[in-house]
Amino acid sequence: MGTAEDLADQFLRVTKRFLPHVAHLCLISTFLEDGIRMWFQWNEQCDYINMAWHCGNFLATIFVLLNMVGQLGGCILVLSRKFVPYACCGLFVLIAMQTVAYSILWDLKFLMRNLALGGGLLLLLAESRSEGKTMFAGVPTMDTNSPRQYMQLGGRVLLVLMFMTLLHFSMNALMILQDIVGTTLIILVAIGFKTKLAALTLVIWLFALNLIQNPFWRIPVYKPMHDFLKYDFFQTMSVIGGLLLVVALGPGGVSMDEHKKKW
């Protein structure tokens, strides 16, 4: 464990300058992909919304337009580091709209993944908040936690929902081992114990699973499975971006790692 923590610390020292930028790009990748897809599949998206909700072509068009502009605009703001809180709030609203419009609310797996995506945005929002905007900035306080730290806690807890969708609950020995290791890691991230090491391990594990389970580039573009795997791939990349933010920022004040310093 000590050797693994030393390697993780060395990795952070080498990558600290560009790791947050990689995390941002991964985090917004699903919004970027979805916004571009709505441009190229404009008619199909409008037809789907119209048939699913019988709302008419005009309202269906407005919905698709809001999603496309909102997602692409939010990505631009996040990558340029301009008005990030407003971009995060807008993307939160779009996640909620899509959850209802595409009936994700009744699909537990996709609902948990959307919540995990919201956790990544919560971490991005926490990163954008400066810690001390009061006249006493820089003065230590006792047993108080800023809203940013509670955002980090909420983001960590929501992120682990992604991994709950990957548990197999199979009697196969390899799957049992994978479930045990995965469950242990997500618990560590959620409670904030050995957080950076656990989050970095989950990043590696999830990236490998993503390449194996969602190889959309192997499926012809005209097949529906191509879009399904592509959507799943980039949504997983966004959760990886959230975990990279945990690695870069740390667990925050509401965590066992932070409280260990007081023991």
Give residue 131's pLDDT. 44
Residue 194 forms part of a structural domain: yes
Number of independent structural domains in the chain = 1
Confidence of residue 136 (pLDDT cuts 50, 70, 90): very low
Lowest mean pLDDT across 17-31, 167-181, 228-242 = 167-181
Percent of the chain with pLDDT over 90: 47
Higher pLDDT, 69 or 9: 69
Residue 160 forms part of a structural domain: yes
Residue 196 forms part of a structural domain: yes
Residue 25 forms part of a structural domain: yes
The Cα–Cα gap between 187 and 157 comes to: 9
3-state secondary structure of 203: helix
Query: Is residue 60 pLDDT above 50, yes or no?
Result: yes
Instruction: Encode pLDDT of 83-100 as tens digits.
Output: 999 999 999 999 999 999
The Cα–Cα gap between 87 and 104 comes to: 22
Contact predicate 119/154, CB 8 Å: yes
Residue 5 forms part of a structural domain: no
Where would I find the H helices in the chain? 2-15, 19-40, 42-53, 56-80, 84-101, 108-128, 147-159, 161-164, 173-191, 195-213, 224-249, 256-260
Residue 142 forms part of a structural domain: no
* Domain containing residue 247: 18-131+147-256
What pTM, to 2 d.p., does this model score?
Answer: 0.86
Residue 215 forms part of a structural domain: yes
Residue 11 forms part of a structural domain: no
Confidence of residue 261 (pLDDT cuts 50, 70, 90): low
What is the crossing angle of helices 84-101 and 108-128, to 10°? 170
Give residue 144's pLDDT. 47
What is the residue whose two structure tokens read 């991005």? 124
